[in-house]
Amino acid sequence: MQQAEFCPIVDLTRCLTDLLFDAQQLPAEGKVADYIPALSEVSPTRLGIAVATLDGKVCAAGDSQMPFSIQSLSKTFALTMAMQLQGDELWQRVRMEPSGQPFNSIVQLEWEQGIPRNPVINAGAIVVADVLASHYSASKNTFLMFIRRLAQCQQIYIDPKVYASEQQHGSRNAALAYLMKSFGNIQSEVPQVLEQYFHQCSVEMSCEQLARSWLYLANRGVDPVSNEQICSRKDAHRINAILSTSGMYDQSGEFAFTVGLPAKSGVGGGIVAVVPNYGVIAAWSPRLNKFGNSNLAMYLIRRLAEQLGLSVY
């Protein structure tokens, strides 16, 4: 896409503040995720947004510096690492198609003989976690170090209460992993893979940290701040394509239709959207709709994309 004429930095900050105020006037809809008990303890009124641009600047409003559980947003980091490790071989183990089924569907996985539809549904992300667990002797620490490097912040940690909740209430994810193991699509031992997967989902980050850490996807795989090549241009293209078609669960088509940006959501209430050649938007609000996406985070990103003309289409 051609880079449009975006708001100056001061105007963007004011724009975010105004959008946040508008969002706070909307009726409270949806509910905080409660199937992971630790997530249900988060205040439903939290609301934040941050925009990181390729020139290294970050504009933000609301609870943009408050860490929250990134949950499925972690799948994008893990996918980037797995693509570096396995290259095209990864796509023999996981496809790149929208699923059309719930993100934790077991039925579809059985039909398709243990090959997940894409790497951002749970089964696909568990395969990706298996890649990391199989290649690194300290995969959990390696994953955390990767995120810290991208965010340029060493103060990023695992929430132990969320991690414990993930382990205690992860029976369906365990079922997915054992089913794929039976088809030969999981190489490590299932408990080790699940430990990696739950660890990833339990990372806490703020909107500002998330926006900074995804900048390489807006810049053809290169971190614009450090000038480090995080992934190849082709891999950045592929990740953005998967986010466009599958990143917002069963609302991915609607998000592409109304917003027009590659994006990923998590049941912690966060949504991160990539604006190629410009930057990254990260928004957070814990109340989720029936698809598992944050109502107000979607609202903030959609309104901002409309005002600044950010759609890639």
| Catalytic residue numbers, as ranges | 72, 75, 197, 249, 267
Query: Tokens for 172?
Result: 């369906």
CA atoms within 13 A on the CB side of 56: 5
Long-range contacts of 83-88 (CB under 8 A, 24+ apart): 83/231, 83/235, 83/238, 83/239, 84/231, 84/235, 85/131, 85/132, 85/135, 86/131
CA atoms within 13 A on the CB side of 39: 27
Taking the mean position of all CA atoms in its chain, how far away is CA 126? Answer: 14
For the chain, list the strands marked E by DSSP: 31-32, 48-53, 58-62, 68-69, 157-158, 203-205, 263-265, 270-275, 279-284, 287-288
- The two beta strands, 287-288 and 279-284, are unpaired
Q: What is the CA radius of gyration of the chain?
A: 18
CA atoms within 13 A on the CB side of 252: 26
